[in-house]
Chain A
């Protein structure tokens, strides 16, 4: 690292054309989502890299919500700490919202508020939002919703957003229903006209068409994961509502009803059951997996705690299952609508006795889709619960993505014996390690052969699946499970590694912190600081991880929790390098920013 470099020298790239952030500060439940996604999609269709992050409350109506849209000509999609343009639509937070605007920024607000425009270093624009909503002809109950379209129109005119793209985004949002499209677009057009006739542009922000999003899609991670599960041949899903995982099952229900009907009979080739709690949800998944289904559930931290006992049983009885955890802040209610990577340690060891689980960490929409189907292959191959740790940022925000790739291999149902196999083999021992990978052969209930049955139990069992309390048999079984875990290392997704020649610093991250790390590395590189990067896609770690940590004397594990949960796990995975690993963490409910990560690394470099 260059000598004397200070953390404060790391700054966001200067705002300019196609390079700034807009925040719409609204009231929850006022329908601003339509306006925000319309803007996001219109900018995306103009070829400008965008990312949208919804900072919303755990509330149906009334509490403040902020939706930020970042435009980045260079393609960075992490959260930024500063927002140059604020659309102030929430009276309660307007003072604070304006105070947060950086010098040179812009505030757009309803002129009916008659604000004192007392900051001289920013530009104020006001429009008669309430009046325009009224003039739209919308019924009284719809007015607060269409009012949000006023800022869409104002921004379109002020920034130069293509009006046709706004119209087609509205068409997409309302699934082509002409009436709401006309109503909303009418307000957008009125706001454009008003702005053109009454407002003189006094700021430097504008957008220009680019070609950086052609062929890409926009989607959220919960939808991507659900779609992946549909292509992964899920057959049973059991779940209990919990934010922020509920929308994964909602999406699964929607997609499956279209994609997973038997073409001949029209019957669903799946069952989705809303359970009475998470214990029952995982119980159903375990029973279904045991009986041969590709079974999954989706939950968040508190739900995962309730699933502990069954997850441990499934691990020990070797039943395949897929468990999604869309992580959020804190225990109990915590902050259910804010992001964290807080369940890593708990999930890795979930259960009682000696338990370690296979975990997948998607970092993008493509990976969320891939986890959707690949998790079933791993679960059935390894005969164990496989966890997918996503989070609120990945799950519920809209992300740009390459189109999803079709599964590149046929479904792997693992070691399942048919009646014909049993005829040929003359029987089998359920928990015998025939192949040396720690994985026994199983049969599915209903297999029509007198030698098919075996007894599944959480209590001590030997390789014949018989009850045992013998010390040697218990120990043998545990050792076989440990062998299976070592085998898992060789088949879980490998990390994505960017090894930079001459770099002493190795950054390790996973999940939704990836965009922040990507931007942080670019910021550091601009200051002459070389970094390598390993992005974990799974636990347990693989050989690539060991190579990476051996080659970098300064390792930083970046994560969105306070305790450095992955850092702790990685120190035990590579104890010889434990002293080279430093933990860089933040846990405030928001996605990590590139600037914060880069500054933290520089700061930490000074403390070796």
Chain B
């Protein structure tokens, strides 16, 4: 399974090449936004020198959920049930809280069948990056509306959508998510920066990435198309990510930037944009999303960040050694303990 490298291939801090982070060839349609997101994950994992063996990839069912097979071949992956990846990820991170979990879901997998598990995962603050590859349509079953489709959207067979969309970011905020971001598969730089920040977050980091479906929902008037995204994207926050191991070299004038300390020691340096948006203000985030919905605006960027809430393994006070690697001497009480219990019951 090891991939032979030309000797000259550059390596990252842990001596791995970019190739070491690749997956198997994608079987998605040519030009699918999801493949571009997979490429970003590969790139970010390489840049951050993530140890692939300490990463797990989890997903539900759908086009997006196939993608964990297309990145990080050296990481364990589990392609679970439709809409039920959050519970599986919850169990996996309890079994081993030291792993970095990357979850990939879609708008149907999260917004429809999985909305319940999504909300409860966020509520529990399961430590993971949860990516919604959002194209507003069911691809594998050939073109039904998903719950994130905007009102008035048209599809070839499904007709006109008359229901309001579920906003995954709003749902995350309501469930007290500490990292909420929206992005666009056609904006690779932003996706990468957000991914890096998300990987440093303490609990559940939700990334809602509009990722056009070239086969069923990339027509001109679709709000989930490349063209729409390119012409309508409005970046509300801009920041750089400073990994914990890097020194801060550039200083900003007071008032130009705000630093957010991430749980793992990394920093987000938020640069002031002229919109005065403050991504540490939850109510502002909710207002922004509601207003964007009313005006049919496509806002992207880090919408909310809050590192204060403990993650589920922290709440469970799990020991340093992952539960999955505890030996028999730690998890099976002694014969004497049982004998005493039995005597007490007699």
Q: Which A residues are within 8 Å of any B CB, using their own CB?
A: 215-219, 227, 230-236, 238, 259-260, 262, 265, 267-271, 273, 275-277, 279-295, 309-310, 313, 317, 373, 403-404, 406-407, 410-411, 427, 443-459, 466-467
Q: Which of A217, A282, A293 has the most CB of B within 10 A?
A: A293
Q: Which of the 9-residue segments B41-49, B265-273, B298-306, B312-320 touches chain A?
A: B312-320
Nearest CB to that of A317 among chain B residues? B78
Contacts of A411 in B (CB 8 A): 328, 331-332
Is B333 close to A, CB under 8 A?
yes
Rounded to whole angstroms, the CA-CA distance of A41 and B210 in the bound complex is 66
* Residue contact B318 to A267, C-beta cutoff 8 Å: yes
List CB contacts (< 8 Å) of B291-346 with chain A: 312-313, 316-319, 322-326, 328, 330-333, 335, 337-339, 341-343, 345-346
Is B137 close to A, CB under 8 A?
no
Is B112 close to A, CB under 8 A?
no
* Residue contact B76 to A233, C-beta cutoff 8 Å: no
Rounded to whole angstroms, the CA-CA distance of A235 and B317 in the bound complex is 13
CB distance from A225 to the nearest CB of B (A): 14
Q: Which of B78, B312, B338 has the most CB of A within 10 A?
A: B78
Contacts of B2 in A (CB 8 A): 450-451
Name B91's contact: one of A285, A450, A452, A459 (CB within 8 Å). Answer: A285
* Residue contact B76 to A443, C-beta cutoff 8 Å: yes
Contacts of A279 in B (CB 8 A): 84, 87, 117
Contact size range, B: 35 or more
Is B98 close to A, CB under 8 A?
yes
Name B337's contact: one of A259, A284, A292, A449 (CB within 8 Å). Answer: A259
List CB contacts (< 8 Å) of B84-109 with chain A: 84, 86-96, 98-99
Given contacts A275-B120, A404-B338, 18 further A-B contacts (CB under 8 A): A233-B326, A260-B333, A268-B319, A269-B326, A269-B331, A279-B87, A283-B91, A287-B90, A288-B92, A290-B91, A317-B78, A403-B339, A411-B331, A445-B92, A450-B2, A453-B77, A455-B78, A458-B81
Name A235's contact: one of B24, B89, B95 (CB within 8 Å). Answer: B95
Rounded to whole angstroms, the CA-CA distance of A450 and B345 in the bound complex is 51
Name B318's contact: one of A233, A259, A268 (CB within 8 Å). Answer: A268
* Residue contact A235 to B331, C-beta cutoff 8 Å: yes
Interface 1/0 per residue, B280-298 and A, CB below 8 Å: 0000000000000000000
Rounded to whole angstroms, the CA-CA distance of A281 and B81 in the bound complex is 13
Interface 1/0 per residue, B185-212 and A, CB below 8 Å: 0000000000000000000000000000
* Residue contact A276 to B319, C-beta cutoff 8 Å: no
Contacts of A262 in B (CB 8 A): 319, 330
Rounded to whole angstroms, the CA-CA distance of A210 and B224 in the bound complex is 81
Cβ contacts A to B, 8 pairs, < 8 Å: A231-B332, A231-B333, A268-B319, A269-B330, A287-B93, A291-B324, A294-B331, A456-B77
Rounded to whole angstroms, the CA-CA distance of A403 and B337 in the bound complex is 13
Contacts of B116 in A (CB 8 A): 276-277, 280
Name A445's contact: one of B51, B96, B328 (CB within 8 Å). Answer: B96
List CB contacts (< 8 Å) of B1-26 with chain A: 1-2, 20, 24
* Residue contact A268 to B333, C-beta cutoff 8 Å: no
CB distance from B130 to the nearest CB of A (A): 14
* Residue contact B73 to A217, C-beta cutoff 8 Å: no
* Residue contact A291 to B56, C-beta cutoff 8 Å: yes
Knowing A235-B324, A295-B91 are in contact, say whether A290-B78 is a contact too (CB < 8 A): yes
Name A453's contact: one of B52, B87, B89 (CB within 8 Å). Answer: B52
List CB contacts (< 8 Å) of B23-54 with chain A: 24, 51-54
* Residue contact A453 to B75, C-beta cutoff 8 Å: yes
* Residue contact A216 to B346, C-beta cutoff 8 Å: yes
CB distance from A235 to the nearest CB of B (A): 4
* Residue contact B324 to A444, C-beta cutoff 8 Å: yes
Rounded to whole angstroms, the CA-CA distance of A404 and B98 in the bound complex is 36
Knowing A283-B81, A283-B87, A313-B81 are in contact, say whether A292-B324 is a contact too (CB < 8 A): yes
Knowing A280-B117, A291-B324, A449-B53 are in contact, say whether A456-B79 is a contact too (CB < 8 A): yes
Knowing A217-B342, A295-B95 are in contact, say whether A269-B81 is a contact too (CB < 8 A): no
Contacts of B328 in A (CB 8 A): 233, 410-411
Nearest CB to that of B333 among chain A residues? A259
CB distance from A228 to the nearest CB of B (A): 10
Contacts of A467 in B (CB 8 A): 69
Rounded to whole angstroms, the CA-CA distance of A436 and B24 in the bound complex is 30
Nearest CB to that of B89 among chain A residues? A287
Contacts of A288 in B (CB 8 A): 91-92, 94-95, 323-324
* Residue contact B346 to A406, C-beta cutoff 8 Å: no
Is B240 close to A, CB under 8 A?
no
Rounded to whole angstroms, the CA-CA distance of A277 and B119 in the bound complex is 13
* Residue contact A292 to B120, C-beta cutoff 8 Å: no
CB distance from A400 to the nearest CB of B (A): 11
* Residue contact B333 to A287, C-beta cutoff 8 Å: no
Is B80 close to A, CB under 8 A?
yes
* Residue contact B91 to A286, C-beta cutoff 8 Å: yes
Is B161 close to A, CB under 8 A?
no
CB distance from B63 to the nearest CB of A (A): 13
Interface 1/0 per residue, B140-153 and A, CB below 8 Å: 00000000000000
Contacts of B51 in A (CB 8 A): 448
* Residue contact A446 to B53, C-beta cutoff 8 Å: yes
- By Cβ-Cβ distance, the 7 closest A-B pairs, closest first, are A283-B87, A292-B324, A287-B91, A288-B91, A233-B331, A287-B88, A284-B91
* Residue contact A276 to B53, C-beta cutoff 8 Å: no
Q: Which of B58, B325, B328, B338 has the most CB of A within 10 A?
A: B338
* Residue contact A284 to B90, C-beta cutoff 8 Å: yes
* Residue contact A457 to B89, C-beta cutoff 8 Å: no
Nearest CB to that of B75 among chain A residues? A453
Rounded to whole angstroms, the CA-CA distance of A129 and B91 in the bound complex is 53
Contacts of A289 in B (CB 8 A): 91, 95
Rounded to whole angstroms, the CA-CA distance of A268 and B331 in the bound complex is 10
Rounded to whole angstroms, the CA-CA distance of A447 and B73 in the bound complex is 14
* Residue contact B76 to A293, C-beta cutoff 8 Å: no
Contacts of B81 in A (CB 8 A): 283, 309-310, 313, 458
Contacts of A457 in B (CB 8 A): 69, 77-79
* Residue contact B74 to A293, C-beta cutoff 8 Å: no
Nearest CB to that of B78 among chain A residues? A456
Contacts of B319 in A (CB 8 A): 262, 265, 267-269
Rounded to whole angstroms, the CA-CA distance of A236 and B316 in the bound complex is 11
Knowing A262-B330, A294-B331, A310-B81 are in contact, say whether A271-B324 is a contact too (CB < 8 A): no
CB distance from A384 to the nearest CB of B (A): 16
Interface 1/0 per residue, B221-256 and A, CB below 8 Å: 000000000000000000000000000000000000
* Residue contact A293 to B80, C-beta cutoff 8 Å: no
* Residue contact B69 to A455, C-beta cutoff 8 Å: yes
